[in-house]
Amino acid sequence: MKIWVKIFLLSLLVGISFLFVLFYFSRTEIYTQLGSYYSKNGNYSVAQDYYEKSYLLGNKNNDFREKYVNLLINSPLTIKSQERLVSIAEDGIKDTASESARYFLYNLKREIHNKYPNNYIQQGVYNRKIIHWGKVPITYSIKRSKGVSDDIINAVNDAFDSWERASSVRIRFERVSINPDITVSFSNNTVKSPKPGEKYVIAYTLPDLSSNKLNKMDLVLNLSNIDGTPFTPNQIYNTALHEIFHALGFMGHSFEKDNVMYVSQTNEVFVNDERIKISDADKLTLELFYKIRPDITNADELVYEYIPYPVIGDNADVNYAKVEEARKYITKAPKIPSGYIDLAQALINQKDYEEAKSNLQKALYLSNDDETKYMVLFNLAVVHYLDEDYDFALFYVNKAQEIKEDDELHVLKAEIYKKNSDKVQAIKEYDYLVSKNPDNIEYVINLTNLYISKRDYLKARKTLKAYINRNPKERDNPRFKSCKLLLL
Domain ranges of the chain: 3-115, 138-308, 317-487
Pairwise CA distance, residues 28 & 33, whole Å: 9
Q: Do 317-487 and 3-115 fall under one CATH topology?
A: yes
How many angstroms separate the CA atoms of 252 and 122, rounded? 8
Spatial separation of the C-alpha atoms in residues 480 and 461, rounded to whole Å: 12
- Given a contact cutoff of 8 angstroms between Cβ atoms, the answer to whether 443 and 434 are in contact is yes
Position with higher pLDDT, 327 vs 172? 172
Residues near 175 by beta carbon (within 8 Å), at least 6 away in sequence: 139, 140, 141, 142, 157, 160
Is residue 270 pLDDT above 60, yes or no? Answer: no
What pLDDT was estimated at residue 256?
A: 85
Q: Residue 291: what residue type?
A: K
Q: CA triplet 448, 422, 348: central angle to 5 degrees? A: 90
Q: At 134, which amino acid appears?
A: G
Q: Is 9 exposed, middle or buried (0-12, 13-18, 19+ CB in 10 A)?
A: exposed
Where residue 219 falls (left for φ over 0; alpha for ψ -120 to 50; beta otherwise) is beta
- The residue type of 292 is I
Could you write out the three-class secondary structure of 188-253?
CCCCCCCCCCCCCCCEEEEEEEECCEEEEEEEEEECECCCCCECCHHHHHHHHHHHHHHHCCCCCC
Cα 131 from Cα 316, distance rounded (Å): 19
**Worst-scoring range by mean pLDDT, 1-5, 71-75, 96-100, 441-445?**
1-5
Residue 232: pLDDT over 90: yes
Top CATH class of 3-115 equals: mainly alpha
pLDDT tens string 179-230: 999 999 998 765 444 444 444 568 889 899 887 899 999 999 999 887 788 9
Highest CATH level, class, for 138-308? alpha beta
pLDDT value of residue 389: 94
For residue 190, the model assigns a pLDDT of 55
What three-state secondary structure class fits 403?
Answer: helix
> Is the predicted pLDDT of residue 21 greater than 70, yes or no?
no
Tell the CATH topology of 317-487: 1.25.40
Per-residue pLDDT tens for 242-268?
999 999 999 888 888 899 998 764 444
Q: Report how far residue 379's alpha carbon sits from residue 91's, in angstroms, rounded to the nearest whole number.
A: 31
Average of per-residue pLDDT across 36-48: 82
Q: What is the DSSP letter of 93?
A: -
Quote the pTM value: 0.71
